[in-house]
Amino acid sequence: MSNTSPINHSGRLAVLMPGLGAVATTFIAGASLARRGLTAPTGSLTQLGDINQDGQHTPILDLVDLAPLDDLVFGGWDIYEDTAWDAALRADVLKAKDLEAAREDLQAVKPMKAVFDQRYVRNLSGTHVKSAPTKMDLALALIDDIETFKQTHGCDRAVGVWCGSTEVFVQPSAVHMDLESFEQGLRDNNDAISPSMIYAYAFIKSGTPLANGAPNLGLDIPALQKLALDTGVPIAGKDFKTGQTLMKTILAPGFATRMIGLNGWYSTNILGNTDGAVLDDPGSFKTKEVSKLSVLDSILDKERYPDLYENIAHKVRIDYYPPRGDNKEGWDNIDIFGWMGYPMQIKVNFLCRDSILAAPLVLDLALLLDLAARHNRGGVQEWLSFYFKSPQTQDGGLPVHDLFVQRTHLDNALLEMKK
């Protein structure tokens, strides 16, 4: 169990990812290059960032005891049998020469069979999938996978980061409310238990920290949050804050601090990768939309500033558009108003790369969850909100979305865990 591990890192750390697609393979390739000094780990706060203490900047790497890149071992599950090398080729994110430089590390990663059910991700169909009579059996198989991986690869510890697809929206119901009901649901193959919940159960049950990079509710259900808290397993979610939402949580605090009003915010996204194909299904889109829409509420607070933020028309579109590939693109139209209510407009066109923005978050979350586990911090890690579109809160309250406030919370937590 994680809560018995020593506070200082030692030995190897398994980074286990459900979903070895574009994000996971881009992360592995970059980590592979970075640990050999072939690239800077751009975008990774743990590797490049520092903490400002009264004007003194201390590198995070010096401040806290993080697992070094050299100690990471990569693994995961996927619905296709491809190695990470083949998956990276298919994802078409990285240039040939960059992939080549990471070939060895990528080829070493062979996915374990995934837990998958097409009813929850309708636009994908898997061929490398576990089969078992009950969902509880699937969970136990995952627990076994984790243990086996650690032993096989000589790892002392493991962490998980969900890098898989977005499932259809599942309404929370009674089966999610307490552990007993949930475990009974696993045994009964209850329809309200999606694959991402089975993974979440398996990770927590095996004492392995888990971050959730997708908007799935896997880590959001009360039964599992309580289990994580009770057993001292840190968890964090949900949905990597990357392109458009990242921009929103940068811009909106700027408007708020200057008392600039907002009439509307229209956001459209076009993307052509697997994530886009999955979100072309209305069920999966609904899950994502819920995640993306909430972000303005706590930054532009209509209770405190009714003159400014009472009537915001906030709309989010995501469209599958194959020519774009992994190069997700966002267009935002922002209708602000200033002195005497006069309207102004801001248009933001973000030509981003989904996996390039997400990959360093996988690294940071793996290292920080491992750190938290060694500090016996169980349950929801609110201080990791910095990384998520739809941050979890311990008490279910309104999350902080302001990127700069999130960063302050993260810094404070690191200072509490300093060496």
User: Binding segment for a second copy among 39-47, 161-169, 201-209, 223-231 (CB under 8 A)?
Assistant: 39-47
404 binds a second copy (CB under 8 A): yes
Per-residue interface string for the shown chain with a second copy, residues 57-76, x marking contact by CB under 8 A: x-------------------
298 binds a second copy (CB under 8 A): no
The distance of closest approach from Cβ of residue 228 to a second copy in the complex, given in angstroms and rounded to an integer, is: 26
Q: Which is nearer to a second copy, 202 or 368 (CB)?
A: 368
The distance of closest approach from Cβ of residue 257 to a second copy in the complex, given in angstroms and rounded to an integer, is: 5
Neighbours of 140 (CB within 10 A): 18
User: Binding segment for a second copy among 143-151, 206-214, 230-238, 314-322 (CB under 8 A)?
Assistant: 314-322
Q: Which of residues 75-134 bind a second copy (CB under 8 A)?
A: 94, 96-98
The distance of closest approach from Cβ of residue 217 to a second copy in the complex, given in angstroms and rounded to an integer, is: 26
Q: Which is nearer to a second copy, 141 or 290 (CB)?
A: 290
The distance of closest approach from Cβ of residue 54 to a second copy in the complex, given in angstroms and rounded to an integer, is: 13
CB distance 216 to 194 below 8 Å: yes
The distance of closest approach from Cβ of residue 336 to a second copy in the complex, given in angstroms and rounded to an integer, is: 9
Q: Which is nearer to a second copy, 109 or 228 (CB)?
A: 109
Q: Which of residues 320-359 bind a second copy (CB under 8 A)?
A: 321-324, 329, 331, 333, 335, 337-353, 355-357, 359
40 binds a second copy (CB under 8 A): yes
Rounded distance, CA 407 to CA 40, Å?
Answer: 21
The distance of closest approach from Cβ of residue 227 to a second copy in the complex, given in angstroms and rounded to an integer, is: 29
Q: Which is nearer to a second copy, 1 or 404 (CB)?
A: 404
Q: Which of 417, 409, 414 is nearest to 375 (CA)?
A: 417
Enumerate long-range contacts of 31-40, CB under 8 Å, 24 or more apart.
31/69, 31/72, 31/74, 31/105, 31/363, 32/101, 32/102, 32/104, 32/105, 32/106, 33/98, 33/101, 33/102, 34/69, 35/69, 35/70, 35/72, 38/101
Q: Which is nearer to a second copy, 129 or 271 (CB)?
A: 271
CA angle 310, 313, 314 (to 5 degrees): 110
11 binds a second copy (CB under 8 A): no
Q: Which of residues 252-291 bind a second copy (CB under 8 A)?
A: 253-254, 257-261, 263-264, 266, 268, 270
The distance of closest approach from Cβ of residue 277 to a second copy in the complex, given in angstroms and rounded to an integer, is: 13
Q: Which is nearer to a second copy, 145 or 329 (CB)?
A: 329
The distance of closest approach from Cβ of residue 321 to a second copy in the complex, given in angstroms and rounded to an integer, is: 5
Tell me the backbone φ, ψ of residue 266, rounded to 5 degrees: -110, 125
188 binds a second copy (CB under 8 A): no
44 binds a second copy (CB under 8 A): yes
CB distance 7 to 70 below 8 Å: no
The distance of closest approach from Cβ of residue 135 to a second copy in the complex, given in angstroms and rounded to an integer, is: 35
Rounded distance, CA 182 to CA 190, Å?
Answer: 9
247 binds a second copy (CB under 8 A): yes
Q: Which is nearer to a second copy, 203 or 255 (CB)?
A: 255
The residue within the footprint of a second copy, chosen from 48, 108, 141, 143 (CB under 8 A), is 48
Q: Which is nearer to a second copy, 57 or 419 (CB)?
A: 57
